[in-house]
């Protein structure tokens, strides 16, 4: 009988434990006992490398706004939107959260965002660069404040260029020069490649603009990339694979293959974002960056992140204050610049000049030069599907299963279907 009882006791104990642990956790109320407002902020761009920087900004904000307690929740980018959508669906949306430019329209359209223009009415927004502020207007309303941006540039390994006796890239290079240099620098026997540019939606919309084409028709209702310029852009990307760039099989599914290839000194030119600067500090060779070569014109990709507030927040004013502080305060701007945590979207050149003081890479000015002609990704309501179909069709062309023309035609038809 004792054993019998032991089992029953164990079952009861476990049940009690289970109910106890549901109470053990903090159930936070939005307004604390001392009249403090708790403001939740959900972000993907801080973790894992810039949590301390975000904390610096948060502390400075709380010092200026002693009545507000900002609670930061982070998630890796890959799962960020899964989490954000579910919490909105469940009615527990964070008061403020980060959105990237590509996803902004989907959220602005859905009615989940607070009109920050109204929440912060009367505030002077001249500190923002006008272009970045406009990027987050939708239907005439300021649904988010730009918080940071990054650009894509051409990284190059100086040592490889010197060794091969090829003149290093300059700001006025075009595709033709890049291609010629890449050919000369590719040395497959020694595992050295001339070039690396992923064949994806993000590279395609940009090279399309470089070639002088448009992704969507002027009214935004049809795909316009199935054009001579589109074909040229797609060929430019697709033809690199297997000639001056490794094939998918050679990459072998290795994670971060291109980063490691460049870091090990076996990649001459690399199309990538300025977020790579920090990781390249200690490589044992000389490297630098230039504005990406263009074709008919120059066009550089810019990735914006912004802060938005939930339409359901009870603290609209505080949410605006935090969004404003996080995106454009001096503390935020200098913290970002000091830690190379992307760039602040401010118009004050004085603040930005701090960015140029860092000695590596020498040509940091290229980052600002690239802003002179930018290419923002086309955004539609069914953004993710559009990105996926374009990337998939380009992949088919790379694998040689369909001709480039065919791939573009299919992708354009798919995108048309998504827009209708």
Partner 1 sequence: MGKAVKYAVVGLGALVMLFPFAWAVITSITPGEAVLAVPPDFTPEGASLAAYAKLLETLPFWRIVLNSLWIGVASTALQLVTSAMAAYAFARLPFPGRGALFAVYLATLMMPLPVLVVPLFIEMRMLGLVDTYFALLAPTIASAFGVFLLRQAVQQVPREFDEAAVLDGAGHFRIFAYVVLPLIRPALATFAIFGFMASWNSYLWPLIIIKSPEFMTLPLGLATLHGQFTTEWDVVMAGSVVSVVPILVLYVFAEKHVIASVAQSGLK
Partner 2 sequence: MNRRGWRYALTVAVFLLPSLVPLTLYTLIPMAGSLWTSLHEWDLISEMRWVGLDNYAELIGDPGTRAAFLHTLSFIAGYLPLVYVGGLGLAVLLNRPMRGRSLLRGVYFLPVITSWVVVALMWKWLLNPAGGIVNWALGLIGVSGPGWWTDPAWAMPSIIIATAWKDLGFVMIILLAGLQAIPREYQEAAMVDGATAWRRFRHITLPLLSPSTFFVIVISLINGFQVFDQVQIMTGGGPGGATQVVVSQIYDLTFRYGRAGAASALSWLLFALVLLVTIVQIRGQRRWVTYG
Q: What track of x and - describes contact with partner 2 for positions 339 through 368 (by CB under 8 A)?
A: ------------------------------
CB 326 within 8 Å of CB 399: no
Measured from the CB of residue 117, what is the shortest distance to partner 2 in angstroms?
Answer: 20
Q: Which is nearer to partner 1, 83 or 184 (CB)?
A: 83
Q: Is 9 in the site for partner 2 (CB under 8 A)?
A: no
Can you tell me which residue has the tokens 């990649």? 267
Q: Which of 111, 122, 255, 350 binds partner 1 (CB under 8 A)?
A: 255
Q: Which is nearer to partner 2, 4 or 357 (CB)?
A: 4
> What phi, psi does 50 have (nearest 5°)?
-120, 25
Helix (H, G, I), strand (E, B) or coil at 199: coil
Smallest CA-to-CA distance from 202 within 390, 373, 29, 414 is with 390
Q: What track of x and - describes contact with partner 2 for positions 82 through 121 (by CB under 8 A)?
A: x--xx-xx----------------xx--xxx---------
% helix, strand, coil for the chain, step of 5 = 50, 20, 35
Stretch 13-32 residues interacting with partner 1 (CB under 8 A): 14, 17-19, 21-22, 24-27
Measured from the CB of residue 299, what is the shortest distance to partner 1 in angstroms?
Answer: 21
CB 411 within 8 Å of CB 390: yes
Q: Is 11 in the site for partner 2 (CB under 8 A)?
A: yes
Q: What track of x and - describes contact with partner 1 for positions 30 through 69 (by CB under 8 A)?
A: --------------xx-xxx--------------------
DSSP class of residue 395?
A: H
Distance separating alpha carbons of residues 76 and 307, to the nearest angstrom: 17
Q: Is 279 in the site for partner 1 (CB under 8 A)?
A: yes
List the beta strands (DSSP E) in 218-299. Answer: 267-273, 287-290
Helix (H, G, I), strand (E, B) or coil at 256: coil
Cross-strand pairs, 145: 307
Distance separating alpha carbons of residues 242 and 304, to the nearest angstrom: 32
CA distances from 197 to 44, 148, 236, 273, 361 (A): 25, 24, 10, 11, 20
Q: Is 7 in the site for partner 1 (CB under 8 A)?
A: yes
Distance separating alpha carbons of residues 206 and 387, to the nearest angstrom: 13
Q: Is 395 in the site for partner 2 (CB under 8 A)?
A: yes
Q: Which residues bind partner 1 (CB under 8 A)?
A: 3-4, 7, 10-11, 14, 17-19, 21-22, 24-27, 44-45, 47-49, 73-79, 82-83, 86-87, 89-92, 252, 254-256, 259-260, 263-264, 273, 275-276, 279, 283
Q: Which residues bind partner 2 (CB under 8 A)?
A: 11, 81-82, 85-86, 88-89, 106-107, 110-112, 247-250, 252-255, 382, 384-385, 388, 392, 395-396, 399, 401
């Amino acid at each position: 009988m004792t054993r019998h009882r032991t089992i029953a006791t164990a079952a009861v104990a476990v049940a009690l434990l289970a109910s106890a642990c549901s109470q053990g956790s903090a159930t936070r109320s939005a307004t604390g006992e001392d009249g403090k407002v708790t403001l939740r902020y959900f972000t993907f761009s801080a973790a894992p490398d810039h949590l301390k920087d975000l904390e610096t900004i948060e502390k400075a904000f709380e010092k200026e706004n002693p009545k507000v307690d900002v609670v930061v929740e982070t998630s890796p980018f890959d799962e960020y939107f899964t989490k954000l959508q579910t919490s909105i669906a469940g009615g527990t949306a964070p008061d403020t959260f980060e959105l990237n430019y590509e996803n902004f329209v989907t959220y602005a359209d859905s009615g989940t965002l607070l009109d920050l223009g109204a929440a912060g009415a009367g505030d002077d927004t001249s500190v923002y660069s006008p272009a970045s502020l406009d990027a987050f207007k939708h239907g005439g309303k300021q649904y988010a404040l730009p918080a940071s941006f990054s650009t894509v540039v051409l990284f190059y390994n100086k040592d490889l260029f010197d060794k091969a006796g090829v003149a290093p890239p300059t700001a006025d290079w075009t595709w033709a020069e890049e291609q010629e240099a890449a050919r000369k620098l590719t040395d497959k026997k020694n595992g050295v490649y001339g070039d690396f540019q992923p064949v994806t939606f993000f590279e395609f919309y940009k090279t399309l603009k470089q070639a002088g084409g448009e992704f969507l028709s002027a009214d935004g209702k049809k795909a316009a990339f199935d054009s001579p310029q589109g074909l040229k852009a797609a060929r430019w990307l697709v033809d690199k694979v297997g000639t001056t760039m490794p094939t998918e099989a050679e990459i072998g599914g290795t994670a971060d293959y291109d980063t490691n290839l460049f870091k090990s000194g076996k990649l001459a030119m690399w199309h990538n974002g300025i977020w790579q600067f920090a990781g390249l500090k200690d490589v044992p060779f000389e490297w630098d960056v230039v504005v990406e070569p263009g074709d008919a014109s120059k066009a550089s990709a810019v990735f914006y992140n912004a802060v938005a507030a939930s339409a359901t927040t009870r603290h609209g004013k505080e949410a605006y204050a935090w969004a404003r502080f996080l995106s454009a305060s001096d503390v935020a701007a200098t913290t970002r610049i000091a830690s190379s945590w992307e760039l602040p979207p401010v118009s004050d050149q004085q603040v930005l000049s701090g960015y140029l003081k860092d000695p590596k890479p020498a040509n940091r000015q290229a980052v600002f030069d690239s802003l002179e002609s930018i290419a923002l990704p086309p955004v539609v309501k069914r953004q993710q599907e559009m990105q996926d179909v374009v990337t998939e069709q380009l992949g088919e062309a790379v694998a040689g299963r369909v001709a480039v023309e065919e791939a573009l035609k299919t992708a354009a038809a798919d995108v048309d279907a998504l827009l209708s």
